[in-house]
Amino acid sequence: MLIDYLIDHLPHLMLLTLVLLLFTGFPVGGILAGIGVGFALLGVVLDVFPIPTLFLIPYRLYGTIGENLIYPAVPMLLFMGVALSISGATRELLLCLQGIFRKVPGSMCIAVLAIGLLLAPTAGIIGASVATIAVAALPTMLEQKYSPEVSCGSIAAAGTLGVIAPPSIMLFFLADALEIKIADIFLAPLIPIATLAVIYAVFFAGVDLFHGNVSRKSAPAGAGNLSFIYVFRSFVLPVGLIVFVLGSIIAGWVAPTESAAIGAGGAAVIMFYYRGFKLSVLRDSLMQTMLITAMVFFVVMGAGIFSLVFRYYDGGDIAIRLFDHLDLGHYGILVSILAVLFVLGFFIDWIEIVLVSLPIFHPIIQSLDFTDLLGSEQYTHLWIGTLIALVLQTSFLTPPFGFALFFLKGSAPPGVGMGAIYRGVAPLVVIQVTMIAAILVFPAIATWLPSTLLGD
């Protein structure tokens, strides 16, 4: 009787084990792979998992990575972000943007937001995104007499908003998980992101005015002397490269992999232009790229092993069976899924959520019918994908467990405490939640741009 009960609840035990082991701090990829292999061997002992099925694991890994046309773009986009960061382009772009916005209240905060939108997408991982911007901007903002709350709030907003901005690698993985076209998922979040950026800018400008124009009193000497060469070097080169990578994918000129290759090559040229042709600089950038890429694909492989065993035990039907017992309606189910993903975002990075949680929810997402509202299944998935990206971004920003907040604290000077960080991000979370509610009520905010420009 006990063995039968154990066999019937193997997928539930897999999820429970996963939740418990995530708090150990052990690498997530190792946890996923270990649970998958461990429960496969347990199934062999219980005579419910045939030994020949174990040999499907290498084929699953090859099918997941080797035959995927999106994944080859990931390391090149990561190299693009690493090269721009190592070159010093991030800090120089920050000061250039502050000079451009020097007459606008809150100029440094607005410059940080722009940095996040332009450079954070290529950082890929939330920790790398926030830490990169914090290291480049936070000391400068504190030197210029911005309060820790305002400084931390703008950096957290910029780092998390940039992670969902195209050509973010999160969007590549979301497109793959939800079977959405890359060009569509790149266009869908643009209006929400632009709206949030404008609201954030107005908010920080208002805060600056309320405190007596800190930005104008503390602007560095010579901030207004923007020569053509300086603007070209600091602004046009990195921004033009990112815009080209994004535009070429949306326009369909080249595939994502080719576009990412151009971006990586362009970033290398910019890095050598800033730092000179030094093999040590190239080695450091390649090493950082290799480490981040290895971490990403270690999780991808672990998730592939976990999902193979989980689905063999009919774990894919868990979400359907759960929601079948709840009379929530399609909107209620969608909000419930978003709420679960929001909570998961407190504890783990987006890549684990997209690769492990979304496959569990995918059958129930497929069953949601919003065609009367959106006109097609394609736009339904695009709308849901945009909501998922914004919900994850909001969870990374939300106290007390927001994933990004701890990375920000780790990169901040000793005098900046968690209390200041929490106070700085609290009003921004309210703005985020309002935007998510608006997209839930008015899906056209996400779908209008792809339908207008691509018309498919």
3-class SS of residue 347: coil
Q: Is residue 80 assigned to a domain?
A: yes
Give the residue with greater pLDDT, 373 vs 448: 448
Average pLDDT over residues 171-188: 86
Q: Is residue 94 assigned to a domain?
A: yes
pLDDT above 60 for 264:
yes
Average pLDDT over residues 372-379: 81
| Backbone angles phi and psi of 421, in degrees to 5 | -65, -45
Task: Show the domain range for 240.
Answer: 73-294
Confidence grade of residue 221 (pLDDT, cut at 50, 70, 90): very low
pLDDT above 90 for 434:
yes
pLDDT score of 435: 94
**CA atoms within 13 Å, Cβ hemisphere of 130:** 27
Q: What is the mean pLDDT of the chain?
A: 82
CA 129 – CA 136 distance, rounded (Å): 11
pLDDT score of 127: 65
Place of tokens 């736009």: 379
pLDDT score of 44: 87
pLDDT score of 389: 92
pLDDT above 80 for 135:
no
The gap from C-alpha 367 to its chain's centroid, in whole angstroms, comes to 26
**Torsion of Cα atoms, 116 then 122 then 125 then 127, to 10°:** -40
pLDDT score of 122: 57
Residue 69 · residue 255 · CB < 8 Å: yes
Q: Is residue 334 assigned to a domain?
A: no
Give the pTM: 0.81
Average pLDDT over residues 90-118: 80
Confidence grade of residue 391 (pLDDT, cut at 50, 70, 90): very high
CA 359 – CA 353 distance, rounded (Å): 9
Q: Is residue 361 assigned to a domain?
A: no
CA nearest neighbour of 201 among 282, 137, 106: 106
Among 59-63, 104-108, 254-258, 420-424, the minimum mean pLDDT is found in 59-63
- Residues 94-103 pLDDT 10s: 778 877 877 7
CA 162 – CA 146 distance, rounded (Å): 22
CA 350 – CA 127 distance, rounded (Å): 11
Among 173-182, 242-251, 416-425, the minimum mean pLDDT is found in 242-251
Confidence grade of residue 390 (pLDDT, cut at 50, 70, 90): very high
pLDDT score of 97: 80
Average pLDDT over residues 213-235: 64
pLDDT above 50 for 222:
no
CA nearest neighbour of 254 among 244, 268, 241: 244
Burial category of 245 from C-beta neighbours within 10 Å (exposed 0-12, middle 13-18, buried 19 and up) = buried
pLDDT above 90 for 396:
no
pLDDT above 70 for 189:
yes
Among 125-129, 139-143, 332-336, 378-382, the minimum mean pLDDT is found in 125-129
pLDDT score of 354: 84
Among 55-69, 204-218, 241-255, 292-306, the minimum mean pLDDT is found in 204-218
Residue 123 · residue 81 · CB < 8 Å: yes
pLDDT score of 121: 54
Average pLDDT over residues 336-343: 88
Residue 115 · residue 123 · CB < 8 Å: no
Average pLDDT over residues 4-27: 80
The gap from C-alpha 248 to its chain's centroid, in whole angstroms, comes to 21
Average pLDDT over residues 306-319: 79
Give the residue with greater pLDDT, 4 vs 416: 416
Q: Is residue 394 assigned to a domain?
A: no
HEC string of 77-116? HHHHHHHHHHCCHHHHHHHHHHHHCCCCCCHHHHHHHHHH
CA distances from 5 to 9, 173, 240, 360 (A): 6, 36, 60, 22
What total number of domains does the chain contain?
1
CA 163 – CA 118 distance, rounded (Å): 10
Q: Is residue 207 assigned to a domain?
A: yes
Per the structure block, which two tokens stand in for 317? 């039907």
pLDDT above 60 for 192:
yes
For Cα atoms 311, 312, 313, give the angle at the middle one, nearest 5 degrees: 85
Per the structure block, which two tokens stand in for 300? 């991808």
Average pLDDT over residues 21-39: 84
User: Which range has highest mean pLDDT (35-39, 101-105, 243-247, 368-372)?
Assistant: 35-39
Q: Is residue 242 assigned to a domain?
A: yes
- Residues 230-249 pLDDT 10s: 888 888 888 888 888 878 87
pLDDT score of 385: 92
- Tell me the longest C-alpha to C-alpha distance in the chain: 80
Give DSSP secondary structure letters for 132-172: HHHHHHHHHHHHTT--HHHHHHHHHHHHHHHHTSTT-HHHH
Per the structure block, which two tokens stand in for 380? 């339904």
- Residues 402-411 pLDDT 10s: 777 877 887 7
